[in-house]
Amino acid sequence: MLSAGLLTLSLLSSTLRLSTPLILAALGGLYAERSGVINMALEGIMLAGAFTAATVTAFTGSPWWGLLGGLAAGLCIAALHAFCCINCRADQVVTGTAINILMLGIPPLISGALFESTGSTPSLAKTQTLPTLPIVIALVVAPVTMFVLFRTTFGLRLRAVGETPEAAATAGVSVTWIRWQGVLISGLLAGLGGVYLSIGQNSLYTRNMTAGRGYIALAALIFGNWLPWRVLLACLLFGLMDAVQIRLQGTSSVPTQFIQIIPYIFTMVVLAGFIGKSTPPKALGAPYITERR
């Protein structure tokens, strides 16, 4: 009995650790997409946050500076995305993808100059990591997002510019500014997700260490139908699947390959069958052009 209890406890904490980067990135993405901007760049933003946090911590010795650096990096990349998509009206998917590719290249370039390595930073001591703070923030962000989205003026405006930007503009709301805010918040949150990866869960940055988590976060966002609590659940479910997969491996005679595809099969099944119709914000992906009212 005791060992069963321990197992569930370890499964639970493992689920939390594996879900945290997903929750932060997906809820970040929610702010951008609710305002009408597809944030394909989540993966790139996470990489930027992770790399900057590890680098700054390696130089200053303090994870708090690393945290600040990671958040700033997330903001910068998000600002780039916002500028291209909102001000220049570039294709949002193409811009996001370009940013993701860019962020595969930039960390190795910088780490080459700083540490003579290609994309990895020196290992940090255990005292130089922040293993719990991001988990707590991730769990708090969901209710906060619900409140912001449905109980505040800002939330109303955010949803308005994502559904019918023309009406919002007529009512005197600056579509450009609200969308900028949405994308910047997503930069902060996804950046924090990256910070957790490099100096929370781990103690260094390695090349492309997000390993597709930004895209899984996007899937969770769609799976969760752009609703905060459902997105949170979706991320926890993905984390749980991964944690279960880790514990199933090696304990049964089923080959590793089969056990490792569980999360992916699960994703396909839920996306294809069980969630019903997902309804994205109406103006998602469409740049707002003032003259075309």
Q: Phi-psi category of 89—alpha, beta or left, where left has phi over 0 and alpha has psi -120 to 50?
A: left
Q: Which member of 12, 64, 105, 282 binds other proteins (CB under 8 A)?
A: 105
| Cβ neighbours for 16, distance < 8 A, ≥ 6 positions apart | 135, 139, 239
Cα separation, 4 vs 267, whole angstroms: 28
Nearest approach, Cβ of residue 74 and other proteins (Å): 18
33 or 242: CB nearest other proteins:
242
DSSP 127: G
Cα separation, 78 vs 277, whole angstroms: 29
Phi, psi of 25, rounded to the nearest 5 degrees: -70, -45
Q: Is there binding between residue 211 and other proteins (CB under 8 A)?
A: yes
Q: Is there binding between residue 114 and other proteins (CB under 8 A)?
A: no
Helices (H), 122-248: 133-151, 153-163, 165-170, 175-196, 213-223, 228-248
Per-residue contact string for residues 133-172; x = within reach of other proteins by CB under 8 A: ----------------------------------------
Supply 126's token pair: 């255990």
3-state secondary structure of 107: helix
Q: Which member of 87, 132, 256, 290 binds other proteins (CB under 8 A)?
A: 256
Q: Is there binding between residue 120 and other proteins (CB under 8 A)?
A: yes
Stretch that binds other proteins, among 11-19, 75-83, 142-150, 276-284 (CB under 8 A): 11-19
52 or 201: CB nearest other proteins:
201
Residues between 59 and 88 with contacts to other proteins, criterion CB under 8 A: none
Nearest approach, Cβ of residue 211 and other proteins (Å): 5
Nearest approach, Cβ of residue 118 and other proteins (Å): 5
Q: Which member of 123, 170, 174, 278 binds other proteins (CB under 8 A)?
A: 123
Phi, psi of 187, rounded to the nearest 5 degrees: -65, -45
Nearest approach, Cβ of residue 147 and other proteins (Å): 30
Cα separation, 182 vs 278, whole angstroms: 21
Cα separation, 208 vs 218, whole angstroms: 17
Nearest approach, Cβ of residue 44 and other proteins (Å): 15
Given the rule CB under 8 A, which residues bind other proteins?
6-7, 10, 14, 17-18, 101, 104-105, 108, 115, 117-120, 123, 126, 197, 201-204, 206-209, 211-212, 242-243, 246-247, 249-250, 256-257, 260
